[in-house]
Chain A
Amino acid sequence: DADVTQTPRNRITKTGKRIMLECSQTKGHDRMYWYRQDPGLGLRLIYYSFDVKDINKGEISDGYSVSRQAQAKFSLSLESAIPNQTALYFCATSDLTGRGTQYFGPGTRLLVL
């Protein structure tokens, strides 16, 4: 089984709808991250959490919210989806060593019409 899983893998929604993307991990890591990827723009950090009680905004948090339900679960919500949130979304985890090793989930392709 994969260490980091994301659901759904693909989603089409309409402008104004609320949508939640879920991430689960079995690596036992405290740190979790949400990124979005747009063509030619690399990965940009939306939110990150260094433990269950710690939530921090990344560089592009506007329009998004997150919930850290447990050490293993980190959800990303779009309260009112808009077309420019169409992107590939990745969840990632890392351990406490502070090194640059993050483990990514398979991604969620989101299309907002």
Chain B
Amino acid sequence: GQSLEQPSEVTAVEGAIVQINCTYQTSGFYGLSWYQQHDGGAPTFLSYNALDGLEETGRFSSFLSRSDSYGYLLLQELQMKDSASYFCAVNNQGGKLIFGQGTELSVKP
């Protein structure tokens, strides 16, 4: 079968750094994406890793290890507005995504 595992909840304080892990088991793999969703709104794209290593976009970074079927999203200098759900998603057929169940991040003052 195909599955993605990520923690259901993470809590951190404002200004801190938090890492959200994602492990996957899928029949095909082109890359790993991360999406952010606020309160049932439209998911928005954050980052994409097709190759091993770290991708940095401002305060957000994403890492991939294909050999370990593992990736993570790193959020630095946390702000209250970062409180949201974060989804990892495997691109397993040239654009078709399989989503994890999401991690709800709560940022406390």
Contacts and interface: CB of A to CB of B under 8 A. Distances in A.
Contacts of B31: 99-100
Contacts of A40: 8, 101-102
B32 to A, nearest CB: 7
B91 A98 contact: yes
Interface string A63-100: 00000000000000000000000001010001011111
B50 A107 contact: no
A113 interface: no
Interface in B42-68: 42-45, 48, 50
Interface string B81-109: 00000010101001111111110000000
Contacts of B43: 43, 90, 104
Interface residues of B, number: 25
A100 B97 contact: yes
Interface band, chain A: 20 to 34
Nearest to A2: B42
A99 B42 contact: no
A71 B4 CA distance: 31
Given A40-B101, A42-B99, A45-B96, A99 B91 contact: yes
A94 B89 CA distance: 14
Which among A4, A31, A99, A109 has the highest number of chain B CB atoms within 10 Å?
A: A99
Contact of B94 (A44, A98, A105, A106): A98
A41 interface: yes
Interface of A: 4, 31, 33, 35, 37, 40-45, 48, 50, 59, 88, 90, 94, 96-107, 109
Interface of B: 8, 30-33, 40-45, 48, 50, 87, 89, 91, 94-102
Given A50-B95, A98-B91, 4 more contacts: A45-B97, A98-B30, A99-B33, A107-B41
